[in-house]
C-alpha cells in the first residue's frame, strides 16, 4: 500500500484558502494505486494535474510512477494552491512545477500530444451559474467546489473543447473525479465520442456523495 503524501507542513490557515484533501481526493489516489502496474508500464514522461490544490494527488502519483521518472506539472488558478503545491513537493522529495493558470489555457499549444497522465478532481458541486462564475473569478477556495448547473462546467470545457484528446499523448490516460449528479456514464460517452476509450474504474459512496473515477485513454496510432 502506497502511503498518503506527507501534508503536515500545511496548516489550518492554508486550508482556509486551499481545498483540504477529502474523500474525493482519496478515491483518486486509490484509482491511481490500482493502476500502478499499468502506469509504470506506460513509463510516463509528463504528468499534468489540473487544479492541484494542496499538491497531494501529484505527490502521490510521483510515488506510483517514480519521482525521477517523469516531470510533474501542476496548474491552479489559486496562487495559494500554487504555493501549497510547491511546499508539498518539497516535503515529499519531489519537484512539483506549480503554474498559475486557468485550465491549460496558457500552456495548450506546447502540451499538444505530450501529456502521459492527466489528472482532474474538478469543482463538481452543482451550483447556479452566477455562483460558479463568481467562485472562479475570485480564484480562492470556493472555486474548488462550485461547478455550475450540472457541476461540470470546467469539465465541459475540457471535453467539448477537444482539450483532453489534444493534450494526451498516444496511450496517455485522463483520470477524472465525478459524482452521481454529474452523470459519469454520460461523461464516459462524451469522451468516447471524442475518440477516447473511457470507463468508470472506481466508485464508492462517501457520506451523501456517490463518488466515481472515470479513466479515458487515448489510442496509439499505428503507422503502416
pLDDT at 209: 86
- 4 domain-assigned: no
CB 196 within 8 A of CB 165: yes
Largest CA distance in the chain: 57
C-alpha cell, 88: 508539498
Task: Please report whether residue 172 resides in a domain.
Answer: yes
Residue 128: pLDDT over 60: no
The Cα 94–Cα 158 span in angstroms is: 27
**How many structural domains compose the chain?**
1
Residue 7 resides in a domain: no
Q: What is the mean pLDDT of the chain?
A: 88
Average pLDDT value for residue range 142-165: 72
* Cβ neighbours of residue 110 closer than 8 Å, sequence gap 6 or more: none
| Whole-number pLDDT of residue 132 | 42
pTM across the whole model:
0.90
User: What CATH number is attached to the domain comprising 30?
Assistant: 3.40.50.150
Question: Which of 43, 76, 72 has the alpha carbon at shortest distance from 59?
Answer: 72
What cell numbers appear for 62 in the block? Answer: 510521483
- Provide the residue range defining the domain that includes 203: 14-218
The answer to the question of residue 223 being in a domain is no
Domain membership flag for residue 85: yes
- Domain assignment present for residue 53? The answer is yes
Residue 26 exposed, middle or buried by CB count within 10 Å (0-12, 13-18, 19+): middle
The answer as to whether 211 is a domain residue is: yes
Residue at 200 is within a domain = yes
Amino acid at each position: 500500500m502506497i502511503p498518503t503524501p506527507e501534508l503536515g507542513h500545511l496548516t489550518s490557515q492554508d486550508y482556509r484558502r486551499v481545498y483540504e484533501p477529502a474523500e474525493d481526493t482519496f478515491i483518486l489516489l486509490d484509482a491511481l494505486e490500482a493502476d500502478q502496474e499499468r502506469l509504470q508500464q506506460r513509463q510516463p514522461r509528463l504528468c499534468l494535474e489540473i487544479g492541484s490544490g494542496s499538491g497531494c494527488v501529484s505527490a502521490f502519483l510521483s510515488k506510483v510512477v517514480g519521482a525521477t521518472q517523469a516531470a510533474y506539472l501542476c496548474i491552479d488558478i489559486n496562487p495559494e494552491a500554487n504555493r501549497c503545491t510547491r511546499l508539498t513537493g518539497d516535503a515529499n522529495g519531489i519537484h512539483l512545477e506549480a503554474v498559475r493558470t486557468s485550465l491549460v489555457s496558457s500552456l495548450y499549444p506546447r502540451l499538444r500530444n505530450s501529456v502521459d497522465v492527466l489528472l482532474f478532481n474538478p469543482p463538481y458541486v452543482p451550483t447556479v451559474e452566477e455562483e460558479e462564475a463568481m467562485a472562479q473569478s475570485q480564484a480562492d477556495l470556493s472555486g474548488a467546489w462550485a461547478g455550475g448547473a450540472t457541476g461540470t462546467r470546467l469539465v465541459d470545457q475540457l471535453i467539448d473543447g477537444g482539450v483532453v484528446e489534444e493534450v494526451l499523448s498516444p496511450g496517455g490516460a485522463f483520470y477524472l473525479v465525478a459524482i452521481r449528479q454529474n452523470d459519469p456514464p454520460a461523461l464516459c460517452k462524451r469522451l468516447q465520442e471524442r475518440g477516447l476509450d473511457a470507463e468508470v474504474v472506481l466508485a464508492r459512496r462517501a457520506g451523501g456523495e456517490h463518488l466515481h473515477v472515470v479513466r479515458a485513454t487515448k489510442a496509439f496510432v499505428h503507422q503502416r
